[in-house]
Amino acid sequence: MTLVHTQSVPVDAAPTARTVLDAMDSAGPQVWDDMTVEVALSVMAGARAGHLLVRDGDGRCTGLVTLAGLRTVRDSPAYTDRIRLRDVAAGSGPGGPFLPPHTPMTEAQHLLRHRRLGALPVVDEHGRALGVLALSR
């Protein structure tokens, strides 16, 4: 696997430790955690997005949902049209999994691969989404 966003470094440049901030993509579409799965799927289709960042009532990032994950929830025998994103968002609740922007890339890559995650939100010290770090497949 390789990172979605790469950056060329000149041969004569001094080596520096890259961070998540250097490689993350924009945050993209963000939605509230009280949105239903069906509405979120419609938002994804309209935005042509593969994931949505989920926020709580205070605007803090609580997790990330993917198209594949929401389709799995929708196709489940336990599915009802009342299921909210707060019930299915990866990382819902305090503590993550999230990445601080100054996390070294080597650490972030290890975390993404070890937990078999395709993407993780990058958040500031207040829990606000700055972007998304994603692995390409």
> CATH number of the domain that 32 lies in?
3.10.580.10
With respect to residue 54, please indicate whether it lies within any of the assigned structural domains.
yes
pLDDT at residue 83 is higher than 90: yes
CB 20 within 8 Å of CB 43:
no
CB 123 within 8 Å of CB 63:
no
Q: 51-55 and 61-66: which strand pairing?
A: antiparallel
Among 131, 130, 96, 47, residue whose Cα is nearest residue 39: 47
How many Å apart are CA 92 and CA 85, to the nearest integer? 9
With respect to residue 4, please indicate whether it lies within any of the assigned structural domains.
no
CB 131 within 8 Å of CB 123:
no
How many Å apart are CA 99 and CA 110, to the nearest integer? 12
Instruction: Please give the residue range of the domain that contains residue 70.
Output: 19-136
- pTM metric for this prediction: 0.77
Q: How many domains does the chain have?
A: 1
Among 62, 124, 116, 117, residue whose Cα is nearest residue 99: 124
pLDDT at residue 126 is higher than 90: yes
Q: What is the pLDDT of residues 25-45, one digit of tens each?
A: 998 899 999 999 999 999 999
With respect to residue 10, please indicate whether it lies within any of the assigned structural domains.
no
